[in-house]
Amino acid sequence: MSSVQSIMELVSDPDIVYVLSIVGILGLLVELANPGVIIPGVVGAISLILALFGFEALPINFAGLLLILLAILFLIAEIKIVSHGILTVAGAVSLLFGSLMLYDDLDPALRVSWSIIAVAVGLLVGFSLLAVNRALRVHRRRPTTGKEGLVGMRGRALTELTPEGKVFVRGEYWDARCDEFVECGEEVKVSNVEGMLLTVKQIS
């Protein structure tokens, strides 16, 4: 066989086609999660194109293919919704059954290897859990910029607060109000932000 025919035969292998489809999906998911990385998106697109070529030469069961696509949708939804693992489990189950049903043939040679299925399920579920964990950490992180980031910051009274005056917080001058009398030069802590007015507390 020529080199081109050898490549075509390799791409038509059931296990290779399955791996290419999983790599393609993972690459596109990484690119969507981190726009501008480029390399995962390029590798994913090429892998999917090669996988589609292989699918044309194999007896594909569309129910299995739809289950795999459903699994990907579940994993993406988990990242957006955060269902505490329910969608991840549903995605893993859909991917498992979709992988087993992918090829519509009784010939054992046209079956995806169990080891490859296990690795694929593990990779996709692991990616989903990693993305969910990252999203949760971002949501729980206290803002450090903007007005919201001022809450909890410490500053210094530039004038007496009776109850309003001027304070110096995070390198900026602010109008402030305090329920207690604060002398000029005392330390204060921001408890709330209303427009351009800070509510502060005296640090004892």
CA distance 65 to 58: 12
Tokens of 90: 């549903």
Q: Which has more confidence, 3 or 189? A: 189
- Mean pLDDT over residues 180-195, rounded? 87
Superfamily (CATH H level) for 148-202 = Nucleic acid-binding proteins (2.40.50.140)
3-state class (DSSP) for residue 197: strand
- Mean pLDDT over residues 12-37, rounded? 78
**Residue ranges per structural domain of the chain:** 3-140, 148-202
- Mean pLDDT over residues 117-141, rounded? 73
In the structure, what pLDDT confidence band is assigned to residue 152 with cuts at 50, 70 and 90? confident
- pLDDT at residue 1 tops 70: no
Q: Which has more confidence, 173 or 137? A: 173
When the pLDDT of each residue in the chain is averaged and rounded to a whole number, the result is: 79
Task: Give the tens place of pLDDT for each residue, 29-64.
Answer: 777 766 677 888 888 888 888 888 877 777 788 888
Give alpha helix (H) positions in the chain. Answer: 3-11, 14-33, 39-56, 62-81, 86-100, 114-140
With a CB cutoff of 8 Å and minimum separation 6, the contacts of 110 are 14, 58, 59, 103
Give residue 203's pLDDT.
Answer: 82
Task: Give the tens place of pLDDT for each residue, 74-110.
Answer: 877 776 776 777 888 888 888 888 888 887 765 666 6
CA distance 77 to 90: 11
% residues pLDDT > 90 (the chain): 4
Give residue 167's pLDDT.
Answer: 92
Q: Which has more confidence, 37 or 197? A: 197
